[in-house]
Structure 1
Amino acid sequence: MTDEPAAVTYPSGIPRPAFAAAPQTPELLVLTGMSGAGRTKAAAVLSDLGWYVVDNLPPHLLGGLVSAHIGGQAQRHLAAVVDVRGGRFFQDLDPVIDDLENKGVPVRMIFLDASDAALVKRFEEARRPHPLQEDGTILEGIARERAIVADARDRADRLIDTSNLNVHQLREVMTGEAAEEDPALQVNVQSFGYKNGVPADADFVADVRFLDNPHWVPELRPLTGLDEPVRQHVLGSEGAQRFLAGYADVIDGALQLYRAHDKHAVTIGVGCTGGRHRSVAIAEALGTALRERGYNVRTTHRDRGSS
């Protein structure tokens, strides 16, 4: 960083953003680096963590992005992906950051890099050309890009080499850089009736039609699985408690491994014939069992009101 920041030159017709830094000025994270090094995945991690992320933003618009969020409470963390897709505008990155920092805007830059061999392999596996390849080879495109981004690489606050990182490891690194805890896995337990079809988004489906059906008990028929008499009838059925304990164990084991595969939400469908009695009671009991094991659980009943 120079002692005398260079003046920012904005393209003709683009107004220079006018704002004064304030206590509510949001943090700006500039995410840049080599094409194929994982910028898209890194940006998705930040978005999952609640950051406001803008992809492929020309550097001269960074000031406008910050000024639009000054004073806001919901989106204090901003991230902008800036790379060579911006063409000649990428050269404006250094002076624009100088200008923002002079105005008191906290700016942090993360540069994602990878070896030439790793980048070539990724482009070949994706079967797409390097953005600067033109009529040459992938390696020639990489060399052109390295020359363009050299100053940004030198200036970056954090250099992350993704050559040997898989997507899950990159997520862990970016979560640490964002100083955030990874959002807790959301578990949705939904009761349903098979006569209305299985929920399309269910990751697991439990069929509880083997339990005694309260539908055939006249005084229970008009009630639902949320009513205590029905709940007692269903949970007191032969095999109900054994099924609940065993199924909770199976689900617990799967949920513990899901976050390692970058999954943020899991839907568990619990079905009976109509979706009013057995499935509702079991879904509620399963939700309680999973909450007791520390999971964030939401229980819904798709067909409880159907006849």
Structure 2
Amino acid sequence: MNDNDYSPPRVVLVTGPSGAGRSTAIRALEDVGFEVIDNLPLSFIPRLLASPHDHPIALGIDVRNREFSTAAVLDLIEGVEQEPNGRAEVLYLDCRPEVLAQRFSETRRRHPLSPDETPAAGIAREIDLLEPIKLRADALIDTSEMTPHDLKSEVQRQFSTNDADLSLSIQSFSYKRGLPRGLDLVFDVRFLRNPHWDAALRPLTGLDPAVQAFVVEDPRFAPFFDKVSDLVTFLLPAYAAEGKSHLAIGFGCTGGRHRSVTLAETMAKALADKGGQVSIRHRELERHGDDRRNGARTGSGA
């Protein structure tokens, strides 16, 4: 093969706190055609990705990796992104701290960051270390209420290399903190009237019906939503025909709590009702603990 014709393989970096299901996710990716490598020293990864490869690659990364640091992982992601055609998708397996503690208690394992202390101490340290990486994630799966079978099915649904259907990710965000990485389509909804200026709505979020009703009542909402929905529906088969397996759509507003959340929720429901495989996350609500449904959710229009 001519090096000039080489197209980098799909690369998925799998990470998350210990006990959240990273090993299960890695095995699920292997079952759908990924070559998986777990706990490779971080300095080896750029050389691995630079070599010609015929299969998509999944790399397991956690605090046990030699050379691990938050900055090193973020630098690795940036380095891959800067390569011609480079693309590293970050799959983050999340889980509530109390559930992680229960899992460690049941297995009687020691936490890698607190071998001589309680698992809870290590869990808190690890979650803090991984938070910047979590915020850079392309896909976030909360495993708190999942069995290993549930997690395997969800990972394979989102990352199957044989599935002709696009996996859709809808995100809301604040322009104050910049664009989330990995978005394919971005829509600015700051032109809609802002619930922030209504004292009764300000402490609420776009997950609340009252806020959603306020945003939807803006006379510009319906024509805007219809045009965006038509555009996305038009583009989906074109992207699928090009072999794209995942499409990320972002809605941004000033604070990322009201208008963008409302649009993301409304669009996710509309696409799921049409049979789309849809996951949704709200970046700013996750940061402030306001997402009462714990991060990314998945819908299906079945």
Give the alignment's TM-score, normalised by structure 2: 0.50
Q: Which has the larger radius of gyration?
A: 1
Give the alignment's TM-score, normalised by structure 1: 0.49
